[in-house]
Amino acid sequence: MAQQPFAYTPYYCEENIYKLCQQLTAQEDYDGDLFAVFISNREKLVPILRQTVEENTGGAVVWDYHVIAVERVRGSSRVYDLTSQLPKPCPLELYARRGLGPGASFRLARKFRVVPAAQYLEHFASDRSHMWNQDGVPGWSKPVPPYPAIVARDGQANTLPHYWDMEQLTDDGRYGRVYSEEEFLTLFGGVMGNGAAGPSNA
């Protein structure tokens, strides 16, 4: 399968996935269920494998948070990780084995906030303040995307902290719901799962 080109700016995974959700769901014949998925934990230390930004370490990165998209189409689930060396999209089973790898230690256990794409496109916003230099030198720590900062449809300028907060567990209709790694894979029928049909955007 030819990989579809998507907007991509290194170190802005939350915006990359927002743009991907826009692009996929805008297709007239789109028939999948699409979700933005934030991966983080209380410590803000989550290991992800085969990341393109750290090829000199084999791609292993410990992020404060990471964002992917999961798409369910005709009974199977696949992952879009635009920072991954793996295919885009990648079957969930393959991503679980080679992108997530063995379960992290208890201290670094990954949690997954699953947000239907329609909710993400309505409520996500980022003023990019988390990417402003914290060392007293004015400027961005990484170059920003070539488009204006994303604003939520209700005018909010920065809802990003709601998404990376893994302590707010239940779905309030805007920011999705948090799952453990095993629950996440079960939800979408991954290698640790039981083939459950998974959630719906309906």
Catalytic residues: 13, 66, 81
The secondary structure of the chain in percent helix, strand, coil, rounded to multiples of 5, reads 25, 20, 55
Write down how long the chain is. 202
Distance of CA 23 to the CA centre of its chain: 15
Burial class of residue 46, CB neighbours in 10 A (0-12, 13-18, 19+): buried
For residues 91 and 70, what is the distance between their CA atoms, to the nearest angstrom?
10
φ, ψ for residue 2 (rounded to 5)? -70, 135
For residues 68 and 82, what is the distance between their CA atoms, to the nearest angstrom?
7
Q: What is the DSSP string of 155-180?
A: --S--HHHHH-SS--S--SSS-EEEE
